[in-house]
Structure 1
Amino acid sequence: MADTTVGMSSDLVEAAGMPVGSGEIKPEYDPRLTNEDLAPLRKQTWGSYNIFAFWMSDVHSVGGYVTAGSLFALGLSSWQVLVSLLIGITIVYFFCNLVAKPSQLTGVPYPVICRTVFGVLGANVPAIIRGAIAVAWYGIQTYLASAALDVVVLKLFPALMPYADVDRYGFLGLPLLGWCTYALLWVLQAAVFWTGMETIRKFIDFCGPAVYVVMIVLTGYLIYQAGWGAINLNLGEVSYTGLSAVPVMLGAIALVVSYFSGPMLNFGDFSRYGRSFRAVKRGNLLGLPV
C-alpha cells in the first residue's frame, strides 16, 4: 500500500511539471502543506541565457505581435508605439525582478510565496485564479497559433480550402480545419508540458533563438518581395501628435503591461530555478528592455 501511495505521489509530481525529487522536503515541514512540487528545490541551475530565452519565446509570439500591432489602431505613430513599448516593458522588467527575488532566494514557486501575504489557506484563492487564467490563456495562444498554421496548411494544400469555410464545415464558430489544427497544437503543447520543466527549459532554449532567426529571414524575404519603397512603419492612421498623444500613449503602456501581467505574476515559478538573483536580473534585462 505504501509503495502504491508513493507511486501515485510521484505521478502527480511529474504531472505538475516537475521531475520527481526536485523539491527537498524536510522533516519539520507539515505534510498537509508540502509536496515535492512546492518544497524548495535541491538544485537551482538556470543561468541568464535560460531566462533570456524564456522571454524571447514569450515576446516573439503570435499574441505578442497581435498586441504590438494593435497599438497602431490607437492612432499612434511608429515612434510613439516604440516609446510606449519600451516604457511598458521597462515597467515589466522592474516588477519581474521584484516577483523573482523571493522565489529565487527560497527556491519555491508562486503559490508558496503567496502564503506570506494571503496566509496558508488564503493563498489557495490567487492560486486558483491564476490557474483559471492560465487555462484560458492556453486556449487563446493555441487558437492564435492554429490560425497561423491554417494559413500555412492552405498555402501548401489549397484543396483543403472548403474545410476552412465556417459556413460549410463549421462548429461553434470554427471551421473543421481550424478544429484540426487547434487539436493538433493543443496535444503537441501538452506533450511538452507533461514531460516536465527540464524539457520545457530545453525547448525554450532552442526556440528562443530559433524565433529570432525565422523572424530575420522572413523580414528579409518580405523586403525582397515588396521592395524598400513599399515599407511603411506606420500601420494605421496617425491621429495624435504632440501633447495630445500622451494620454493615448499611457493607455498603450498599460496595454503592454497588461499583456505581460500573466508571466510577470507567475515569474516566480521560473525564477526559482535561477542559480542566482544576479543571473535572473541579467536574463530579464537582456530579454525585456534590451
Structure 2
Amino acid sequence: MKALEADYDELREGDPQGRLFNDDLAPARASDRQWNSYALFSLWMNDAHNASNYTFAAGLFIGTGVIMGMTPLSIVIGVFIATFIIFIACCVSGLMGYETGAPYPVISRVTWGVWGANFPALVRGIVAIAWYGIQTYLASISLELLLMRIFPPMQHWTASFVGLRLSGWVAFLILSGIQLIIVWRGMEAVRHFQGAAGPIIWVIMIGLGVWMLSQAGWDFRWTVNADNVTPPIGTQFYQIFVTVGLTIGTLATLMLNFSDFARYAPSRRSVVMGNVLGLPLNWTAFALTSVLCSAAAIKVYGEAFHDPGDLLSRIDNDVVFYVVSIAFIVATIGVNIVANFVSAAFDLSNLNPRKISFRVGGIVSVIASIVVTPWNLYGSPTAINYFLGSLGALLGPFFGILTLDYFYYKRSRVDLRDLYSPNPEGRYFYRGGLNTDALLGFIPAAIVALCIALVPAFSKVSPFSWFIAAPLGALCYWIVQTLRGNKPLPTGSGD
C-alpha cells in the first residue's frame, strides 16, 4: 500500500514551508491503523445513539412536515433501505482513506487541486462546526436537567445571555470542555472512548425501551401511527421513500468524510464489516427503539415527545432518569466527535497546515460553535433550512465528483508526494493549484441542488436532494472531462 510505504521525511522535504503537510494530515502509518471492525462499528453506534437521531425517528412516527405520521414498520423499512445505501457510500469513501492513509481534505486534492481542495473542505468544515454546536446544545439540555436534579438551586439560574439561560450556559460549556479534552488526546483517545461508550449506550437504550413498554402495558402495534391510524398504502410508500431521502441527508456529511476514520483501518475487510454492522443493522434497531419509546409515551403520558429531553423531564423514577440522562449525554458526545469535531479539526488544519494543527483546529471549532449560538440556530427553522440546508445540499455534488474522479479517472492510483507538494509541476497542481474541471462540473450540479433544497416549489422532492445532486455532480464532471478530451488512466498501467 502506497500510504504505508511513504517516506515521511520525503513528504516534509517536498513541502519545507508546511503549506500542505503536517503530522496530523500525513498518511496514517502502520502503527496508527488500530481502527478494526469493532472500532468502526462502535463509531456508528455512537453516531446513531443520540438525542438528534431520537428526535428524527420520533418525528417520523409523530408526524412532521411532509411526514404525516408513519407506522413503526414503515420507519424500519425506510431506515434500513437508507442505511444500506449509506453503507455502500461509506465503503466507497472509506476505501479512499484506507488506500491513501489520508483524511478527506487531503484526498480532495486529487480532484480539486492542492489549493482548490480548501473549497469543499471549508464548506464541510462550516457545516461540521454548526452541527457540532447544535449537538452539544442538545446534549446540554439533558445535562442541565441532570444538574438541576442534583443541585435544585440551579432551577433559579434564569438570567439569559444571547438567548440561553445561565444554567444552560454552564451545561453547554462543560460539554464543550469534555469533548475538547477527548479530541486533544488524539484519535486513539477517540477510538477508546467510542469503544467503551457504544455498547453501554445500547444496553441503556434497550433498557429504556423495555421500561417504557412495561409502563405502557406492553401495548405496541407495528402498523398504526401515533394517531392510532393505518395510513393508505400509497401514502406509506411515499413516506418510506421520504424517510430514505431524509436519512441519507442526515448522514451526507459523514459519507463525504468517512475517510477521516477509515484511514486508520488495518484492512479493507475491517472497513466493510464495521460499516455493515454499524449501519443497516445498528441504525435500524436504534430507530425502532426510538419509535417504541415514543409509542409507549403516548400510553403513559398521553403524548409523544420529539425531544428526549422532554421525555426525561417527565420520568419520575430517579434511577431511570439518571441512567438515561447520562446515556444521552455520552451518546451525543460520541456522535459529535465522530460526525463533526474530527472533521472540522482536519478541515481547518488543511487551510493552513503550518499554523493550524489538529488540536488548534479543535480549539477553533469549539470557539466558533459558541459564537454561532447553536441554540438560536436550532430554534430557527429558517436558519436550519436556508443556511445549513443550502450548505448540506452541496455535499452531494462533492461526493459524486470525487468518487467518479478517484475510482474511474484516477483508477485509485494516487501519488502521495504530489498530494503533499506545492510544486507547480505536480500532477495535482492543475491550473494554479485548482482543477477548473471539477469547478465547472460542480457549478451546475450545485445550482440544481440548491434549488431543490431551498425553492418551496420543490418541497416534495427536497428530501431526495442528495440522490439527485450526487449523480448529477458526477454526470456534469464526466461531461466536462469528455468535452476536454480527458480519459481515465488505462487499467493496470503504472502511474
Q: TM-score, normalised by structure 1?
A: 0.84
Equivalent residue, structure 2, for 1:215:
205
Query: Residue 66 of structure 1 aligns to which amino acid in structure 2?
Result: T
Deviations 1:106-148 (A, max 9, x none): 1111011111111111101011111111111110110010111
Q: Is the aligned partner of 1:48 residue 2:37?
A: yes
Equivalent residue, structure 1, for 2:278:
287
Query: Residue 281 of structure 1 aligns to which amino acid in structure 2?
Result: V
Distance in 1, matches of 2:98 and 2:135, equals 27
Moved more, 202-211 or 220-229: 220-229
Distance in 2, matches of 1:154 and 1:196, equals 32
Q: Is the aligned partner of 1:38 residue 2:25?
A: yes
- Of 82, 85, 90, 1:96 maps to 90
Distance in 1, matches of 2:120 and 2:7, equals 24
Does the 8 Å contact 1:24/1:42 carry over to 2?
A: no
Query: Residue 10 of structure 2 aligns to which amino acid in structure 1?
Result: P
Q: Is the aligned partner of 1:173 residue 2:169?
A: no
Q: Is the aligned partner of 1:267 residue 2:258?
A: yes
| Cα distance, 1:26 vs structure 2 | 4.2
Equivalent residue, structure 2, for 1:195:
185
Distance 1:111 1:129, change over 3 A: same
Distance in 1, matches of 2:240 and 2:36, equals 34
Deviations 1:207-236 (A, max 9, x none): 11111121122223333444324x566563
Distance in 2, matches of 1:76 and 1:144, equals 24
Q: Is the aligned partner of 1:124 residue 2:86?
A: no
Does the 8 Å contact 2:11/2:21 carry over to 1?
A: no
- Of 81, 84, 102, 1:87 maps to 81
Deviations 1:46-98 (A, max 9, x none): 21000000000100111211111121212211111111111111111110011
Deviations 1:233-267 (A, max 9, x none): 65633573212332232222111011111221110
CA-based RMSD: 2.0
Query: Residue 142 of structure 2 aligns to which amino acid in structure 1?
Result: A
Q: Is the aligned partner of 1:182 residue 2:195?
A: no
Distance in 2, matches of 1:177 and 1:142, equals 14
Distance 1:171 1:210, change over 3 A: same
Equivalent residue, structure 2, for 1:27:
10
Moved more, 253-262 or 266-275: 253-262
- Of 136, 141, 158, 1:142 maps to 136
Query: Residue 79 of structure 2 aligns to which amino acid in structure 1?
Result: L
Equivalent residue, structure 1, for 2:194:
204
| Cα distance, 1:24 vs structure 2 | 5.2
| Cα distance, 1:184 vs structure 2 | 0.7
Query: Residue 186 of structure 1 aligns to which amino acid in structure 2?
Result: S
Distance 1:160 1:35, change over 3 A: closer
Equivalent residue, structure 1, for 2:155:
161
Query: Residue 217 of structure 2 aligns to which amino acid in structure 1?
Result: G
Query: Residue 145 of structure 2 aligns to which amino acid in structure 1?
Result: V
Moved more, 150-159 or 210-219: 150-159
Distance 1:202 1:235, change over 3 A: farther
Does the 8 Å contact 2:108/2:117 carry over to 1?
A: yes
Does the 8 Å contact 2:70/2:225 carry over to 1?
A: no
Equivalent residue, structure 1, for 2:99:
105
| Cα distance, 1:285 vs structure 2 | 0.4
Equivalent residue, structure 2, for 1:241:
232
Does the 8 Å contact 2:74/2:239 carry over to 1?
A: no
Equivalent residue, structure 2, for 1:276:
267
| Cα distance, 1:203 vs structure 2 | 0.4
Deviations 1:140-191 (A, max 9, x none): 110010111222233334443232xxxx422222221111101111111111
Distance 1:179 1:24, change over 3 A: farther
The unaligned stretches of length 5 or more in structure 2 are 1-5, 282-495
Distance in 2, matches of 1:170 and 1:144, equals 17
The unaligned stretches of length 5 or more in structure 1 are 1-22
Q: Is the aligned partner of 1:59 residue 2:48?
A: yes
Distance in 2, matches of 1:71 and 1:82, equals 11
Distance in 2, matches of 1:199 and 1:24, equals 26
Q: TM-score, normalised by structure 2?
A: 0.51
Distance 1:158 1:284, change over 3 A: same
Distance 1:61 1:235, change over 3 A: farther
Q: Is the aligned partner of 1:251 residue 2:242?
A: yes
Moved more, 112-121 or 268-277: 112-121
Does the 8 Å contact 1:24/1:36 carry over to 2?
A: no
Distance in 2, matches of 1:262 and 1:85, equals 17
